[in-house]
Amino acid sequence: MTRLEFWQGNTACAEGALAAGCRFFGGYPITPSTEVAEHMAVKLPKMNGVFVQMEDEIASMAAIIGASWTGARAMTATSGPGFSLMMENIGYAAMTETPCVIVNIQRGGPSTGQPTMAAQGDMLQCRFGSHGDYSVIALCPASVQEMYELTARAFDLADRYRVPVFLMADEIVGHMRERITVPDKVGQTPRRELDRGVLPFQPDADLVPGFATFGKGYGVHVTGLTHDERGYPCATNPGVHAALVRRLVDKIENARTAIADYDIINPDAEQVFVAYGAPVRTVQQVLHDRPDGMIGFLRLRTVWPFPEHSLKMFKNAKVFFIPELNMGQIAREIERHVKVPVVSLPKLGGDLHTPPELVAALEAHR
């Protein structure tokens, strides 16, 4: 059974988290993500969950890591400057393979920037923001419906791959209101517990170890230092470090096809748009106004790991257009994987691309 709701995007995000079993939220209010925290503050205590307003975003990220190790599905939400403060502990979550969900409702930057205006300027930061080599998963909703669905999916991915998962929305999607369909129940993939007698960081064939939940009798040492499969620090052994970091990367990169989520429209087209988040809506309007099949569209819901194989679906493509609310962050990624021109269509200041702007780009490259 389902029901209809008329929700704000941030509300749908919080509801999706609750439906997915999130029972711990640690965060600090910041525009334009505050409504996520406000909704969780109201709902979590009624569901035997815990809401904690931390003193800052550094502590918020640390809190959800600790909550996750007790077995809880845990989340935080932030934007801009708060996201930057979380980066050291995001690296700690990657190194300790801690499942957690970080929601970033993006705003204009750098620094304090535009607190109430939309942007997509954090797409490379979520992938490379902490030091060292690691891989993460980033999902990008383009509607209120997807705010609900992708938030719920983020928890399953986090538990499945033992990795921080990002919901990289933007102010437009976070603050818009739309009618959505809400299921009575969201399926949950349970976190796989560590088998008794197995070392706590000994991976299975998929390169992901089972999880040794605190309080269940496991002997496990959790450290941000380079560690062996026992979890013991081993920071001066080049071989141990190389094997660990390669596994942290490969467990995500090897699964990019399984993690990928995208739509292909008009794969035979010669002119192709690639978009994620709010700019998807403008591209959809252009396709609606030009239903002749001459314009292709790769619509991304998963941006990291980047689904490079999806670009190969457009065998006749002569040019790719990338509208983004930044100066071309994902356009650079696409340039690595195609041999035809890539036209970056940046938009700064908080305004969304208009259909005439995208049509003008098409006409200029015929």
**CATH, domain range 2-183:** 3.40.50.970
Beta strands, E only, 276-318: 295-300, 302-304
Task: Give the model's pLDDT for residue 63.
Answer: 98
One DSSP character per residue, 27-87 reads E---TTTHHHHHHHHHHGGGGT-EEEE-SSHHHHHHHHHHHHHTT-EEEEEE-HHHHHHTH
Residue 300 clears pLDDT 90, i.e. is over it: yes
Task: Give the model's pLDDT for residue 258.
Answer: 97
Using DSSP, how many helices (H) and how many strands (E) does the chain show?
Answer: 13, 15
CATH topology (fold) of 263-364: Rossmann fold (3.40.50)
Q: What is the pLDDT of residues 90-133, one digit of tens each?
A: 999 999 999 999 999 999 999 999 999 999 999 999 999 999 99
Q: What is the pLDDT of residues 128-179, one digit of tens each?
A: 999 999 999 999 999 999 999 999 999 999 999 999 999 999 999 999 999 9
Ordered by start, the domain boundaries in the chain are 2-183, 263-364
How does DSSP classify residue 354?
P
Angle 5-301-203 from CA coordinates, rounded to 5°: 115
pTM greater than 0.95 (yes/no) = yes
Q: Compute the radius of gyration of the chain from its Cα atoms.
A: 21
pLDDT, averaged across the chain: 97
Task: Give the model's pLDDT for residue 359.
Answer: 98
Which backbone phi and psi does 68 adopt, to 5 degrees?
A: -65, -40
Fold: same for 2-183 and 263-364: yes
Task: Give the model's pLDDT for residue 80.
Answer: 97
Return the structure tokens found at 103.
Answer: 């929601």
How does DSSP classify residue 340?
S
Residue 366 clears pLDDT 90, i.e. is over it: no
